[in-house]
Amino acid sequence: QVQLQESGPGLVKPSETLSLVCSVSGDSISGYYWTWIRQPPGKGLEWIGYIHYSGNTNYNPSLESRVSISVDMSKNQFSLRLSSVTAADTAVYYCARDKVIPVAGNYFEYWGQGTLVTVSS
């Protein structure tokens, strides 16, 4: 069974960079798309972006200037970096593995449990 686990600091200061890692077990990173999604407390879901195992990325235009997603095949992990954070970036951050449906597009098949990141001084 595929399992994903997010890890990283739970508290980040304003203007600094948020960094999270998603560790994948039960399958290889190779061959799939990997996604980050976030959810502010009490609010809805926001798609952040995805990375293909080959390294190709696609980001939400609203975050594109601040976000970077990378993959480390040797560690079976992928990572999220979000720069210049503000309180508005406080959220539960989820990592997920995509399932590709030709023509229809990807859906998010496996999810981590999520990790809360609070932006505060």
Partner 1 sequence: SYELTQPPTLSVSPGQTASITCSGDKLGDKYVFWYQQKPGQPPVLVIYQDTERPSGIPERFSGSNSGNTATLTISGTQAMDEADYYCQAWDSATGVFGGGTKLTVL
Residues that bind partner 1 (CB under 8 A): 35, 37, 44-47, 50, 58, 60-62, 94, 96, 101, 103-109, 111-114
Name the residue nearer to partner 1 (CB basis): 16 or 46: 46
Is the Cβ of residue 78 or residue 94 nearer to partner 1 in the bound state? 94
Do residues 46 and 38 make contact, with C-beta atoms less than 8 angstroms apart?
A: yes
Q: Which residue, 14 or 26, has its beta carbon nearer to partner 1?
A: 26
CB 113 within 8 A of CB 7: no
Q: How far is CA 77 from CA 16, 40, 117, in A?
A: 23, 24, 19
Smallest distance from the beta carbon of 74 to partner 1, in angstroms?
26
Looking up tokens 């997920």, which residue turns up? Answer: 96
User: What is the smallest separation between the CB atom of 96 and partner 1, expressed in angstroms?
Assistant: 8
Other CB atoms within 10 A of residue 35 CB: 25
Please, what is the minimum distance in Å from the beta carbon of residue 56 to partner 1?
11
